A and B are shown apart, each in its own frame.
Chain A
Amino acid sequence: MTYQAVIGLEVHLQLNTRSKIFSACPADYHGAGPNEFTDPLTLGLPGTLPTLNRRAVELAMMFGLGLGCDVSGFTQFHRKNYFYPDAPKNFQLSQYDRPIARDGYLDVPGEGGPERIRIKRAHLEDDAGKLVHPTYAPYSLLDLNRAGSALIEMVTEADITGPEQARAFLESVQAIAQSLGVSDATPEEGKMRCDVNISIHKPGEPWGTKVEVKNLNSFRSVARAIEYEAARQAKVLDAGGIITQDTLGWDEGGQKTFLMRTKEGEADYRYFPEPDLPPLDITPEWIAEVRARMPELPAQKLERYRAAGVRESDAQTLSLSVSLSKFYDEALKSGSDTQKPDAQKLANWLLTDVAGALAAQEKGVEDSDLQPAHLAALVGLIDAGTISGKIAKDLLPDVLAGHDPAQLVQERGLSVVTDTGAIDAAIDAAMEADPATVEKVRGGNAKAMNALFGPVMKAMGGKAKPEVVRERLTAKLGL
């Protein structure tokens, strides 16, 4: 008999703040030498006091609003006490019973339409430093650059049912965070980290005991860990065993979970309200002000693209990517002086030819030389019949390198010839050169006309518009 999985996710996002969450210490430490991004507070020196970064609060408000959460009213920080050298004060400043965002949801695309995942809460906290363990060294080293960075931790209800849904959810969260500028949300840089809570049970039976899988650093690992755990737990239960409430790690190399600690080993964090930071009251006025500054959400983009006639799968791909949608929107806008490029054709070009070519260069649209207006112009030239799709593809490498397609067409004389005078001359020459075919056609064999079509196109260097050639031939042959 098969089992159902009950899954909840915890997602940590590093916020896009210039300074750390509780001090003016600069936060952009990526690539810096160890401990270069520290100040007295980051080092936990005696006598230092936290002051709350306003931008961190506003980004958290935006994120909460983007997830349909309630962010109003009092919010407060608590101290989470534990001893570990990566936390210089031996406590973390986090939120406990009054998180900044509560009770939201996110609709993710599913097979039978959108599926709703409820968001329990999202709260602010500071990040820890990093312990470095040099190989064979009898010591460890401490790098506090990351310590005090602003984090948001988002927790879902246990509404997720499988690995693909988890992945779709995480992609949506990532898109929201990136669209709002809340976080770079790049798992590979550690700016988005996930923990999975998962249990299984048979339909109609009560939920099983859950385990937590910690520190998953890619969406793929999340999906794999869910698959692995669901299968492992099923095996244990089928064999008559029981699941214990453990905390597991994910072995990336072996693609399996491993035991980190049992419930008995869990710390008592002795949470209590941070006396150095008064509670914060988030007023309706403040929320309105932040909402007014919020960039467009992925769901809003999706609606817009659907309305513009973009097919569902392309609309979703575009709306989930900040860089693609930004590029696409600029390209769409740029067509105004002549005519708007067709929304779907533009999407086709961007998501197939352009995306393929850039992938080969290991680039994204944001760091390519391709101009949105140029792509729009290329699509416009095909639409207007000025160039063929084949010529457009030939031009693409140069357009990707930053060249204007209209200019290329002009310089290289690539424009499709629609001048009937030149075409007529070529037709006359072809008819003269092949009187036998002309006879056949005039004798009633209309299909024979094709024997003249090729030489005309050849004489025109492939630049004649085929429909025009056909039309002129038909007329000249008196068909």
Chain B
Amino acid sequence: MAAFQTAAQLARAVQSGETTPQQLLHGALARAEAVRGLNALVSLNSHAEEQAAAVQGRMQAGETLPLAGVPIVVKDNINVTGTRTTCGSRMLANYVSPYTATAAQKLQGAGAVIVGKANMDEFAMGSSTESSASGPTLNPWDHERVPGGSSGGSAVAVAAGISPVSLGSDTGGSVRQPAALCGVYGFKPTYGRVSRYGLVAYASSLDQIGPFARSAEDLALLMNVIAGHDPRDATSLDAPARFAVGGADSLRGLRVGVIRESLGGNTPGVEAALGATLDALRGAGAVVGEVSIPELEYAIAAYYLIAMPEASSNLARYDGMVYGERVPGGDVTRSMTLTREQGFGQEVQRRILLGTYALSSGYYDAYYAKAMKVRRLIADEFTTAFGQYDVLVTPTSPFPAFRRGEKASDPLAMYAADVDTVAVNLAGLPALSVPAGFEEVDGKRLPVGVQFIAPALQDERLLALAGALEAVGAVQLEMPQD
């Protein structure tokens, strides 16, 4: 099989007339069919063919489209008119959205063709893509293992070559962690850089749409399209998108701070990949030091005490009254109760219950309010660290892909998988997972990732850095065997 092409290459091929959006769509669909066993996609866009033709028409009319004909996959919690948006839940098994999310609309405006919707943990709650009503997604490097989550389908779509780029959403690591476990790039922008309008909310103050890609150039290409202020999202930021990749020389003098609390507790392969990345940075003239963020100890606790309360309120709307699956029950209260008991999976119900409890009268101050204080402290400590360093670095995940079922029955072990990623969401910072190497486990090569974190609104710095890392050979992008 030929090497997977990048979005930039495909767009150039369409722009030069070498290929057409329809041909690229057919290629993506054929590839999706070939790797169907991975269960990366939950549905195909039935309007894709006409949309590809429309892109072709716009090209012929003289429009310049940066993503001309590029096939793309979006996570199933991002609404696209006329496609199902199930969020991996029985609750929305047949829900078809009447509107399109801003980020997806911008992609379509730039000429991308949405091929289908990617599998995910139910309502983005999970780190393994095992809790979807559509069944688990498999890791293309080892089918016995999880792809990470919750955006596992989006990560696999890119890793297995269905599309060169995809969109996921990252609330506590849901883009970066599956990117690391599948061996691709995953980027979580500054909170507010990409509009959340049309992204089904899990935890509103933490959710952020982010891209997966196999090249730094593609990340920049995508971010230039989807970033920007949206009047429909009051939390979106008005910052011009100026994404570009940097060269090796941009690493000279770059101050890189390794977060001490993220060291130790990692598998040897993860430590080795981090070490190799730091060596490459030093070799290119970067200054590498260590920095402590003591409050990270409380990050997971604070994260779940903020995410679950928000989720309990965000998911209250799923009661079967106006849309979604409804279980009849004699009266309204009984019907709502049965609908929610049968429509939501176990993990979603657990988080709703915990979140409801944490917001309840008498507990609010001890849980939610306290977690918000920790959140502020973590953000302050990051600010202090950025006084010394341009970027901070940690492993993306302490371990490579774990076996399916290994953590599914142990929620606390599953929550701990987010140890390196959640603090970034609490502080609203941009962070990038870079495919940094492999660890051999039980005879299989499993990808591992390194996470770079930048100050708020310095998203561009991370993508420039990714380009520089590619230039010095510090990025380990490979294709999994089918």
Chain A positions within 8 Å of B, measured between CB atoms, are 40, 43-52, 79, 81, 83, 85, 88-91, 140, 142, 144, 268, 270-272, 275-278
Is A83 a contact of B87 with CB atoms below 8 Å? no
Q: Is the interface of A mostly helix, strand, loop or mixed?
A: loop
Interface stretch of the complex, out of B226-234, B381-389, B471-479: B226-234
Q: Interface residues, chain B, CB within 8 Å of chain A?
A: 77-79, 85, 87, 92, 95, 97-99, 101, 196-201, 203-205, 231-235, 309-310, 312-313, 316-317, 319, 321-323, 332-333, 336, 356, 359-361, 364, 368
What is the distance, in angstroms, from B170's C-beta to the closest C-beta of chain A? 16
By a CB distance below 8 angstroms, the chain A residues around B322 are 43-44, 88, 142, 144
6 residue pairs, one from A and one from B, having the closest CB atoms: A90-B316, A275-B205, A270-B359, A275-B204, A46-B200, A47-B198
Contact A272 B364 (CB under 8 A): yes
Asked whether, in the complex, the Cβ of B309 is within 8 Å of the Cβ of A272, the reply is: yes
Question: Do residues A47 and B197 form an inter-chain contact, with CB atoms below 8 A?
Answer: yes
Closest residue on chain B to residue A144 by CB atoms: B322
**In the bound complex, do residue B92 and residue A46 qualify as a contact, i.e. CB atoms below 8 Å apart?**
yes
For the A-B complex, the count of residue pairs with Cβ-Cβ distances under 8 Å equals: 104
How far does the alpha carbon of A272 sit from the alpha carbon of B369 in the complex, in Å? 9
Which residues of the partner chain A approach B199 to less than 8 Å between Cβ atoms? 47
Q: Are B232 and A51 in contact (CB under 8 A)?
A: yes
Give the Cβ gap from B261 to chain A, nearest Cβ, in Å.
27
Shortest CB-to-CB span from B125 to chain A, Å, is 14
CB distance from B348 to the nearest CB of A (A): 14
CB neighbours of A88 from chain B (8 A)? 317, 321-322
29 intermolecular pairs with C-beta atoms under 8 Å apart = A40-B98, A44-B317, A45-B97, A45-B98, A46-B85, A46-B92, A46-B201, A46-B317, A47-B77, A47-B99, A47-B199, A49-B196, A49-B233, A49-B234, A52-B234, A83-B316, A83-B319, A85-B319, A85-B321, A88-B317, A144-B322, A268-B361, A275-B204, A275-B205, A275-B310, A276-B204, A276-B233, A277-B234, A278-B235
Among residues of A, the one whose C-beta sits closest to the C-beta of B337 is A83
A47 touches B317 (CB 8 A): no
Known contacts A47-B97, A52-B234, A89 near B200 by CB under 8 Å: no
Residues of B within 8 Å of A276, CB to CB, are 201, 204, 233-235
When the two chains form the complex, which single residue of B77, B98, B205, B232 contacts A49, counting CB atoms closer than 8 Å? B232
Report the Cα distance A52→B235, complex, angstroms.
Answer: 11
A268 close to B360 (CB less than 8 A): yes
Q: What is the CB-to-nearest-CB distance from A34 to chain B, in angstroms, rounded to a whole number?
A: 13
- B contact residues around A278 at 8 Å (CB): 234-235
A276 to B234, CA, bound (A): 7
Q: How far is the CA of A44 from the CA of B315 in the complex (A)?
A: 11
Smallest CB gap from B79: residue in A: A47
CB of B196, distance to nearest CB on chain A (Å): 6
Closest to B197 in A: A49
Task: Please give me the residue from chain A that is nearest to B95 by CB atom.
Answer: A46
Docked-complex contact B316 and A81, CB < 8 angstroms: yes
Report whether B323 and A83 are in contact in the complex, using a CB–CB cutoff of 8 Å. no
Taking CB as reference atom, which chain A residue is nearest B85?
A46
In whole angstroms, what is the CA distance A272 to B323 when docked? 26
